[in-house]
Amino acid sequence: MEWETVIGLEIHAQLATRSKIFSGAPTAYGAEPNTQACAVDLGLPGVLPVLNREAVRMAVKFGLAIGAEISPVSVFARKNYFYPDLPKGYQISQYDLPVVARGQLGINVDGKELTIGVTRAHLEEDAGKSLHEDFHGYSGIDLNRAGTPLLEIVSEPDLRSAKEAVAYMKKLHALVRYLEICDGNMQEGSFRCDANVSIRPKGQEKFGTRAEIKNLNSFRFVEKAINYEIERQIEILESGGQVIQETRLYDSVKDETRSMRSKEEANDYRYFPDPDLLPLEISNGFIEEVKATLPELPDAKRDRFKDQYGLSDYDAEVLTATREVADYFESVVKDSGCDPKLCANWVMGELAAALNKAGLEIEQSPVKPDRLAGLILRISDKTISGNTAKPVFASMWESNDDADTIIEKQDLKQITDTGAIEAIIDEIIAANPEQLAQYRSGKDKLFGFFVGQAMKATQGKANPAQLNELLKQKLQ
């Protein structure tokens, strides 16, 4: 039987506010345990939550960016369950009235444009962390993270493969960073994902029974976990079994999903409106105010890159994948004044390879846009050839020198003086009479031999176009 996969993602994006969603404690990551938790975060008797306006602004910003409805009235609800890192015994979240509803996100998979529905996005507080090591049989609780604002973004079950799921997640990841509402740091848990996965016979309308996979904190794990889960479900159904509705945990070490709890064991969260918080009312004025702060969004930027710089779909897509890459590229074009395609090739080629090798993000690159622009300018004005530029770039990576200094120091300036190149060619022809004879008798391949000899003699500095031209003349 042919199976169709149905996937919906719930993504938790940690909002980049300075203070927590319901208290004034700071949200910075990595502090000593329990040093960034105030009385409210600790859930002390008598404390009360006060909503962080900035978190609302960010949620609205996100809603506007995905063309969603911003609810004029939304409600905070309590999700009740006991866990040691949940200080109040309930999480303040939004339930039946979320702040953002019915948006959509376009993705491109294998050249196909797909529109993925976003059911809702709601504000909630994060829990703390349980630490199970070094406590002599006890568990430690760190409440620094408790109360950190999260935007939970829930997709429609519109995704049909792990590949689509990853594309959607990447798109969302880029978007929240474009909007500067989330730092997107997946290692630190700022952007994490749960996946609802089910399969059904192709053509069937009714959804199959789904499993929810938790703990997916990288794009790679999302892909692997979903693919594992699809295989598992197919195996069950094809051997006559039934998939049970449950929560499963992805184990990245063993590359498998394991049952965490079944539907029967699931908590009854006893949601009810939080009486400590009034309904959240968002005025049109506030929405307009936020709208005015929206940056150019990834899709618009991609289209502009194609128009303005004459880039291909692929190049425009890659260069707008993150705001940082796009900004870097545009700086290089502006600073060098050179052909955008040449700039694009360098940003996507040499620079991307070097960053990848060093494990750096583009904003951490030791070669800043102005220095790369300086190099590209020298390629463009033929001071050096593209091949020579590669070692120059390598030297720039290792030092703080600009391209001109390196070209000067290493004497890499291209030889463009016709007389000088002719003299070298004459010498080579004179020294290789045998090859000359063979070439003239029709062995065209030997042209490359003469180019190689000439480059060797000039340490690669001869202008390649000129050299080719002059060689052709002389060899006739």
If the CB atoms of residues 141 and 151 are measured against another protein, the closer one turns out to be: 141
If the CB atoms of residues 35 and 410 are measured against another protein, the closer one turns out to be: 35
**Residue from 20, 57, 61, 88 in contact with another protein (CB under 8 A):** 88
Strand partners, 152: 12, 122
If the CB atoms of residues 42 and 457 are measured against another protein, the closer one turns out to be: 42
Q: Are 150 and 14 in contact (CB under 8 A)?
A: yes
Query: Does 270 sit near another protein (CB under 8 A)?
Result: yes
**Residue from 278, 353, 358, 394 in contact with another protein (CB under 8 A):** 278
**Residue from 2, 32, 82, 206 in contact with another protein (CB under 8 A):** 82
**Residue from 14, 64, 65, 90 in contact with another protein (CB under 8 A):** 90
If the CB atoms of residues 53 and 202 are measured against another protein, the closer one turns out to be: 53
Q: Closest approach of Cβ 53 to another protein, in Å? A: 12
Q: Closest approach of Cβ 337 to another protein, in Å? A: 54
Q: Closest approach of Cβ 62 to another protein, in Å? A: 23
If the CB atoms of residues 90 and 393 are measured against another protein, the closer one turns out to be: 90
Query: Does 240 sit near another protein (CB under 8 A)?
Result: no
Using CB under 8 A, which residues numbered 136 to 165 contact another protein?
141
> What is d(CA 120, CA 66) in angstroms, rounded to the nearest whole number?
11
In this chain, which stretch among 8-16, 53-61, 65-73, 83-91 interacts with another protein, using CB under 8 A?
Answer: 83-91
**Residue from 78, 122, 224, 302 in contact with another protein (CB under 8 A):** 78
Query: Does 415 sit near another protein (CB under 8 A)?
Result: no
If the CB atoms of residues 24 and 241 are measured against another protein, the closer one turns out to be: 24
> What is d(CA 234, CA 201) in angstroms, rounded to the nearest whole number?
10
Q: How many residues of this chain bind another protein (CB under 8 A)?
A: 28
**Residue from 29, 33, 80, 236 in contact with another protein (CB under 8 A):** 80
Q: Closest approach of Cβ 283 to another protein, in Å? A: 17
Query: Does 247 sit near another protein (CB under 8 A)?
Result: no
Q: Measured between alpha carbons, how far apart are the two ends of the chain, in Å?
A: 68
Query: Does 87 sit near another protein (CB under 8 A)?
Result: yes
Residues 6+ apart with CB under 8 A from 5: 160, 161, 162, 197, 198, 199, 226, 230
Query: Does 276 sit near another protein (CB under 8 A)?
Result: yes
Q: Closest approach of Cβ 271 to another protein, in Å? A: 8
**Residue from 203, 275, 285, 359 in contact with another protein (CB under 8 A):** 275
Q: Are 311 and 341 in contact (CB under 8 A)?
A: yes
If the CB atoms of residues 51 and 455 are measured against another protein, the closer one turns out to be: 51
In this chain, which stretch among 82-90, 204-212, 313-321, 399-407 interacts with another protein, using CB under 8 A?
Answer: 82-90
Q: Are 153 and 13 in contact (CB under 8 A)?
A: yes
In this chain, which stretch among 8-16, 270-278, 365-373, 429-437 interacts with another protein, using CB under 8 A?
Answer: 270-278
If the CB atoms of residues 80 and 245 are measured against another protein, the closer one turns out to be: 80
Using CB under 8 A, which residues numbered 41 to 60 contact another protein?
42-51
Q: Closest approach of Cβ 275 to another protein, in Å? A: 4
Using CB under 8 A, which residues numbered 24 to 43 contact another protein?
39, 42-43
**Residue from 238, 272, 289, 310 in contact with another protein (CB under 8 A):** 272
What does the binding site for another protein look like in residue numbers (CB under 8 A)? 39, 42-51, 78, 80, 82, 84, 87-90, 141, 268, 270-272, 275-278
